[in-house]
Amino acid sequence: MRRRDRGIEHIISAGIDIGTSTTKLVISRFSLMNTAGASHVPRIEIIDTEILYKSPIYRTPLSQGDEIDMPAVFALVRNEYSKAGIRENEIQTGAVIITGETATKRNAEEMVRRLSDEAGEFLVATAGPDLEGMIAAKGSGAYEHSKRTGRTVANIDIGGGTANIAVYQAGLFKGTCTLHIGGRLIEYEEKRIVKLSRPVQALLEMQKWDLRIGDASDSPIIGRVANAMAETLARILAGQATAEDEPLLLGHPPNWDVTVEDIMFSGGVSECIYRLEPNDTDGTNASVYHDMGVQLAETLRTHPRLARWRWVHPLETVRATVLGAGTQTTEISGATIQVEREVLPLKNLPVHRISFGHETEGLQDKIFRAVEQALELYDPGQEGRNFALYLSEMPHLRFHDVQHIAASLNEALRRQSDQRQPIVVVTENDIAKVLGQSLQVIQRERGILCIDQIRVENGDYLDIGRMLHSGVVPVVVKTLAFHS
């Protein structure tokens, strides 16, 4: 599936979303092209994304207890690859996202790592709730809507266990918030309640409402719970959270400082909000899942406090997260980088930032101090865990300064216990090639990987894929955050 024509290179991406209720997969094709002028430094960008295949929506395979049924998930993925006509070794980038309540399963982290190794040589982004909300907003079309109109839009992705809110203004990310609002927080069997999630139990206790396992599924208390969820959502969107909202708040409070103008819903519950679930064949009808999803959707759709915002119809609903995972998580490095092919791919590299404060004074001290911190953070037992250094706020550098930085990096990194690991450096400025070559001259024993034009932050993790024909590498910047 990899080919080049008229200067355009194509690569294949996979997105896999293993959510609380459903599991989905998409296969996409990216078109890459040099968008810089002939006299400028090459800049390879993704100019087009084509969705090649969308899987059906499957119920997430779970084992007894608190574990994901990994053999069943692997079988599902391999079967979908076969139906898509894709071989595992053709997939060059992408992400698997474990979302919602599924991320709390005991083997969630092992699931992601094994998928990364066995389901194709693609890259992996594991979603904490913040990243999940941002990915869903891109998959639903909320990000594009804000970028195109300049308006401030909140995408609310509601699945089985959580509602992940991401706010964008004129295409700029403004903040996130995650709530315990989802279809499977109350579950039924034979018209009786068989599960009350812990957040719902906390809400019942706070409100002194009496609802128990074994009660009828048409209990009016369930309506009160759904209404309380809608009230909390409205207050969060309005920036008016109160103590009443604490049982339904997961993680940090809302952190945007702008006024939301438009709202958009995605996720499985949104199928019911927009009344898109005509039958059970796609597995999204709540009657199949025996939970409060339909009731919650109807409450949200008709709630008067949510009517104050302009509702915008999404481009994607239940597949928003998986589309975002397959099409929005990959970044492309700069074209003037220093890469030794044999060290790639690299996965799960923590990022440690060295900030130069735009000054050339004290470069060596800053590098030594930062490397010492990175070793204490990421390899305290001297087990040989590697990390990437991110050089930021760099001053204007002469060639002599670059050589000085290379020598200091090489000297500082001699403290790493495993000198067989490659030296990995990400630069904020476009100096990756000259810095990488300077390192290579003085360090011939270790592999050198020096890349630029990638946006990272301290504490991010990097997956770096194999070099493409156009001389760039695909990169996924991710957060390794599993709920406890």
pLDDT tens, residue by residue, 308-322: 999 999 999 989 988
Both tokens of 206, joined, read 């706070």
* Residues 329, 46 contacting (CB under 8 angstroms): no
> Is residue 411 exposed (0-12), middle (13-18) or buried (19+ Cβ within 10 Å)?
middle
Q: Has residue 330 got a pLDDT over 90?
A: no
Q: How far apart are CA 373 and CA 393, in angstroms?
A: 18
Both tokens of 451, joined, read 């890349």
Both tokens of 456, joined, read 């990272």
Both tokens of 474, joined, read 């695909």
Confidence band for 263, pLDDT divided at 50, 70 and 90: very high
For the residues 344-354, what does the mean pLDDT come to? 88
Alpha helices in 175-267 (DSSP H): 198-207, 220-238
Q: Has residue 137 got a pLDDT over 50?
A: yes
Confidence band for 289, pLDDT divided at 50, 70 and 90: low
pLDDT on residue 377: 87
Up-side HSE of residue 288: CA atoms within 13 Å toward CB?
17
Q: How far apart are CA 136 and CA 257, in angstroms?
A: 21
pLDDT on residue 128: 65
**8-127 and 131-322: identical CATH topology:** yes
pLDDT on residue 22: 85
The CATH number given to 131-322 is: 3.30.420
Is the C-alpha dihedral spanning 377, 379, 382, 387 positive or negative? negative
Identity of the amino acid at 475:
V
pLDDT on residue 282: 42
pLDDT on residue 4: 52
Domain ranges of the chain: 8-127, 131-322, 330-479
Residue 349, beta-bridge partner list? 462
pLDDT tens for 83-101 read 999 998 888 888 888 776 6
Confidence band for 411, pLDDT divided at 50, 70 and 90: very high
Mean pLDDT for the chain overall: 88
Fold type of domain 8-127: Nucleotidyltransferase; domain 5 (3.30.420)
Confidence band for 125, pLDDT divided at 50, 70 and 90: low
Both tokens of 321, joined, read 């997260």
For the residues 15-39, what does the mean pLDDT come to? 86
Chain Cα centroid distance, residue 431: 28
For the residues 51-57, what does the mean pLDDT come to? 94
* Residues 388, 350 contacting (CB under 8 angstroms): yes
Q: How far apart are CA 218 and CA 375, in angstroms?
A: 57
